[in-house]
Amino acid sequence: MDTLWDNIEKLSAICRTAGAHHPDEELKALQVSKVAKEADEAIHTLHGLKGLTTCGDDHTWSEVQNDLVGSVIAALLAMHYIDPTGARATFDEIIHRRT
């Protein structure tokens, strides 16, 4: 069974192929900005769940969770873009330090 990081590496390869026409530094910046976009989608879904939108959105907590996972995936992809060989170790070190 693939681990989370195995899947991130596979997604990264697919995304890098799709973005091959962009310089590496631009790909990194675009992926970091994708984290904010995905988080914004989770916020929008939450607002719809709580009836705080004017467009009549009707959402569920499951949809909020789906958008949050999108944020996590985008963040892990951004870490992998920044340092493909060291992202796992960096993540482990940071989560250890923060917990």
Token duo for residue 5: 């990081």
44 has pLDDT over 80: yes
CA distance 50 to 42: 12
Whether 83 has a pLDDT exceeding 70, the answer reads yes
Which one, of 64, 32, 25, lies nearest residue 48 by Cα? 64
Structure pTM? 0.90
Residue 25 clears pLDDT 90, i.e. is over it: yes
Instruction: Give the pLDDT mean for 51-64.
Output: 84
For a pLDDT cut of 70, what percent of the chain falls above it? Answer: 97
Of the candidates 40, 14, 19, the one whose C-alpha atom is nearest the C-alpha of residue 30 is: 19
Alpha carbon distance 90, 5 (integer Å): 12
What is the pLDDT at residue 63? 95
Per-residue pLDDT, averaged over 14-28, amounts to 94
Residue in this structure with the two tokens 């963040």, named with its chain if needed: 75
